[in-house]
């Protein structure tokens, strides 16, 4: 597997042009679960973790909008001032710490009352 560590959006875009079948990865948890269980084959990966442009968020008070970059860490979404601007982000971030597979597996194996106590 070829891993290209992009440090800018320009580099990421160039990597996609050079490797059109590459998968974009911010953290990699979901993708690596799929790879480890042989449900996904990956030849090339463009790692976005170091792309600072994706780790930013911006609130436009005049428009009443908030833009959140794909690389903004969950921990930042869970605390002020971002979670104060968009309160729905904090509970969602806590839930998303599990990969889709682990959430499905956990939900299947645990009785509902056990999940409610967490």
Q: Are residues 11 and 49 both part of a single domain?
A: yes
Task: Kindly give the pairing relationship between strand 2-5 and strand 23-25.
Answer: unpaired
Q: Are residues 49 and 18 both part of a single domain?
A: yes
Q: Whole domain around residue 34: which residue ranges? A: 1-55
The 10s digit of each residue's pLDDT in 33-84 is: 888 888 888 899 999 999 999 999 999 989 989 999 989 988 888 888 988 8
Mean pLDDT of the chain: 78
Q: Are residues 22 and 68 both part of a single domain?
A: no
Q: Are residues 80 and 23 both part of a single domain?
A: no
Q: Are residues 67 and 49 both part of a single domain?
A: no
pLDDT at 116: 37
Q: For residue 38, give every residue at least 6 positions away whose Cβ sits within 8 Å of its Cβ, in sequence order, or none.
A: none
Token output for 114 = 């056990």
Quick one: which H or E segment has residue 45?
strand 44-47
Q: Are residues 24 and 64 both part of a single domain?
A: no
Token output for 105 = 């597996």
CATH number of the domain residue 7 falls in: 3.30.43.10
What's the pTM value of the predicted model, to 2 decimals?
0.64
Closest to 40 in 3D by CA, of 52, 28, 50, 49: 28
């Amino acid at each position: 597997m070829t891993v290209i560590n992009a440090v800018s959006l320009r580099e990421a875009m160039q990597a996609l042009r050079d490797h059109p079948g590459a998968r974009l990865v911010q953290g990699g948890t979901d993708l690596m679960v799929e790879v480890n269980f042989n449900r996904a084959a990956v030849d090339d990966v463009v790692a976005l973790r170091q792309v600072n442009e994706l780790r930013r968020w911006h609130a436009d008070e005049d428009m009443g909008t908030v833009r959140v970059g794909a690389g903004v860490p969950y921990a930042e979404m869970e605390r002020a001032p971002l979670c104060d601007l968009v309160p729905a982000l904090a509970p969602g971030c806590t839930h998303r710490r599990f990969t889709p597979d682990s959430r499905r597996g956990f939900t299947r194996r645990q009785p509902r009352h056990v999940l409610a106590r967490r």
